[in-house]
Amino acid sequence: MNVDFPLILVIGTLVTGLIWLFDVMVLRPRRQRKAADAGDIDDATRQRIQRESLIVEYSIAFFPILALVLALRSFLVEPFQIPSGSMIPTLEVGDFILVNKFSYGIRLPVIGTRIIDIAEPVNGDVMVFIPPHQEEYFIKRVVGIPGDEVRYENKTLYINSVQQEQRFVTQMPPVNPTYFQYLERLGDKEHLIQRNSRPDNRTQRWVIPDGHYFMMGDNRDQSNDSRYWGLVSEDKIVGKAFAVWLHKKPGFRLPELSRNGWIE
């Protein structure tokens, strides 16, 4: 079962904030009146009467922290960890990345409704989103925006009938290779992609309607993406991935900074 952390964060902020507000407006004046009615008492007794309950004390302590985290996470930058190899070679399993939450507009937390327009995704962007078939975060590359006709033929991408350039970079291993890497250009952006050695003569076509986007992984033959489950709705966009800030290999390994850098 997936934990909906944004929803938990919103509920936690709301609950602690309401408890703090109830204390300010109701409980605190009640305690002050009780202390005043007690008359001539020592300071220790007065402090005990005016002391908040444990739940109020914790709510007052945690509310500003939760509110700050909610604001940062909802409107500025959110960290993610790459769980699969679908974006190899651009992103590897164990990469910790940063996602700009306002690149494509300011959105309300949890429900994702955009309230302020800033920019629209363009082909070549690496984007975090929620796919139509599964309520969890995915990360892929935008290869089709509203109005585009996307064609994938012989492992080559065509956008509006224009072949997207692929330049050979390397093969792995050097003898009897299993994978090939290419530098692909989408518009004015270049990025690495990876393909396996098996041929694929299929031709697939999609026309992208308004408010939707076509997503593909850079590890083209090992990516569960829009070719299989469809298009991403605009209201399911989370943000634009822009940097790798940490990497941790599986197992009992220390985090390392060797892969730090901007995401192309």
Residue 156 tokens read as 């080559």
Contact 175, 100 (CB under 8 A): no
Across the range 38-52, mean pLDDT stands at 76
- pLDDT tens-place string over residues 158-172: 999 999 999 999 999
What percent of the chain has pLDDT above 70? 96
Per-residue confidence (pLDDT) for residue 1, from 0 to 100: 36
User: What whole-number distance in Å separates Cα of residue 51 and Cα of residue 60?
Assistant: 13
Q: Which residue has the higher pLDDT, 92 or 101?
A: 92
Per-residue confidence (pLDDT) for residue 4, from 0 to 100: 61
Rounded to the nearest integer, the mean pLDDT of the chain is 88
- pLDDT tens-place string over residues 223-247: 999 999 999 999 899 999 999 988 8
Residue 208 tokens read as 């992208």
Dihedral sign (CA 138, 87, 184, 258): positive
Per-residue confidence (pLDDT) for residue 32, from 0 to 100: 82
Q: How far is CA 19 from CA 31, 55, 90, in A?
A: 15, 8, 46
Report CA dihedral (219, 225, 231, 235) to the nearest 10 degrees.
Answer: -90
Contact 223, 143 (CB under 8 A): no
Domain ranges in the chain are 5-75, 77-262
Contacts of 20 (CB under 8 A, 6+ apart): 56, 59, 60, 63
- pLDDT tens-place string over residues 46-94: 777 778 888 988 888 888 888 887 777 767 788 888 989 999 999 999 8
The residue from 140, 223, 226, 240 that is catalytic is 140
Per-residue confidence (pLDDT) for residue 7, from 0 to 100: 73
- Is residue 250 over pLDDT 90? no
Q: Which residue has the higher pLDDT, 13 or 219?
A: 219
Q: Mind giving me the DSSP string for 14-56?
A: HHHHHHHHHIIIIIHHHHHHHHHHT-S--HHHHHHHHPPPHHH
Local structure of 139: helix, strand or coil: strand
The topology (CATH level 3) of 77-262 is: Umud Fragment, subunit A (2.10.109)
Per-residue confidence (pLDDT) for residue 233, from 0 to 100: 95
Residue 78 tokens read as 């959110």
248: annotated active-site residue: no
* pTM assigned to the model: 0.76
- Is residue 3 over pLDDT 70? no
Across the range 248-261, mean pLDDT stands at 83
Q: How many CA atoms lie within 13 A of 106 on its CB side?
A: 6
- pLDDT tens-place string over residues 114-128: 777 888 999 999 999
Residue 105 is given by DSSP the state: -
Residue 93 tokens read as 């399993």
Q: How far is CA 95 from CA 30, 72, 100, 243, 248, in A?
A: 52, 21, 16, 10, 7
Label residue 113 by pLDDT band (50, 70, 90).
Answer: confident
Q: How far is CA 256 from CA 124, 187, 193, 247, in A?
A: 27, 33, 24, 5
- Is residue 110 over pLDDT 80? no
Label residue 130 by pLDDT band (50, 70, 90).
Answer: very high
Q: Mind giving me the DSSP string for 162-220?
A: EEPPEEEEEEESSSS-SEEEEEEEETTEEEEEEEESS----EEEEEPPTTEEEEE-SBT
Contact 229, 212 (CB under 8 A): no
Question: Which of 168-172, 200-204, 252-256: highest mean pLDDT?
Answer: 168-172
Amino acid residing at 159: I
140: annotated active-site residue: yes
Across the range 190-214, mean pLDDT stands at 94
- Is residue 105 over pLDDT 70? yes
